[in-house]
Amino acid sequence: MNSSILAVLYIFFGITWWFLALTCDLPLTVLLILSTNFISAFFSWSYATFLEQFVKNIIDVARKKTFQILAENIEDRNSLVPLEVLEIGVGHGPNLKFYPEKCKLTILDKNKFFEKFFSNNKKKYPHISYQKTIIQPAEQMKGIEDNSFDVVVSTFLHCSCDDSVAVLRKVKRVLKPVSERFPLYFIFNNYILYIPPFI
């Protein structure tokens, strides 16, 4: 699309957005400004019910690629031993459909309002052995033991977390040592990042 048409559309939607926010949506705008709980509830509802659906076709490409990389890396594992997985910034669980068989899944998200959307969604995937939900920022990961997961999965988290380096440090802490069963790796959108020793 021509860039001047895009610019006009951008300005038009911007003005419409602000017009609505300051007129009929004013109560919503005030609540969003005043209450962080309301922001979290509104974000989880809008992301789980329509925002993610809207961009699903585009971002599912990255999700597929992510789990394809995982599948390739676990090809020669003992398939009888469950894979211990931690997914951080799990949201309502749009990645669940890509999980391999024999996974023990722990999830973490800082937004407690995603929990009910995740609980509904997980019922569709009985092949995943859900362990527990941890509500806290991934920068902390308190109460998660060192060296306790084979894989940490994360998609579209780092665009919204406060401190990516702190998250990577915690990921490194909770991943099992390199030598044990798998190389130390972290799935980051559609890339595997080998965590450098200085983190």
Single residue of 67, 98, 99, 114 touching ligand SAM by CB under 6 A: 114
Full strand arrangement of the beta sheet holding 151-154:
128-135, 103-109, 83-88, 151-154, 186-188, 191-193
CA distances from 105 to 38, 93, 122 (A): 28, 11, 11
Single residue of 66, 70, 84, 94 touching ligand SAM by CB under 6 A: 94
What sections of 74-149 are H helices per DSSP? Answer: 115-122
Single residue of 38, 45, 156, 182 touching ligand SAM by CB under 6 A: 156
Q: Between 38 and 77, name the residue whose CB sits nearer to ligand SAM.
A: 38
Is residue 96 a contact residue for ligand SAM (CB under 6 A)? Answer: no
Is residue 90 a contact residue for ligand SAM (CB under 6 A)? Answer: yes
Residues between 21 and 60 that touch ligand SAM (CB under 6 A): 47, 52
Q: Which helix (H) or strand (E) holds 125?
A: none
* Nearest residue to 138 (alpha-carbon basis) of 167, 158, 165: 167
Stretch that binds ligand SAM, among 8-16, 28-36, 69-77, 85-93 (CB under 6 A): 85-93
Single residue of 66, 106, 121, 155 touching ligand SAM by CB under 6 A: 155
Single residue of 66, 106, 111, 121 touching ligand SAM by CB under 6 A: 111
Q: Which helix (H) or strand (E) holds 67?
A: helix 52-73
Please identify which residue in the block is written with the tokens 């020669």.
76
Stretch that binds ligand SAM, among 64-72, 133-141, 143-151, 169-177 (CB under 6 A): 133-141
Cα distance between residue 94 and residue 14, in whole Å: 29
Which DSSP state fits 136? Answer: S
Is residue 160 a contact residue for ligand SAM (CB under 6 A)? Answer: yes
Closest approach of Cβ 11 to ligand SAM, in Å? 26
Closest approach of Cβ 38 to ligand SAM, in Å? 14
Written as one string, the DSSP assignment of 165-179 is: HHHHHHHHHHBPPTT
**Applying CB under 6 A, which residues contact ligand SAM?**
47, 52, 88-91, 94-95, 108-111, 114, 137-139, 155-157, 160-162
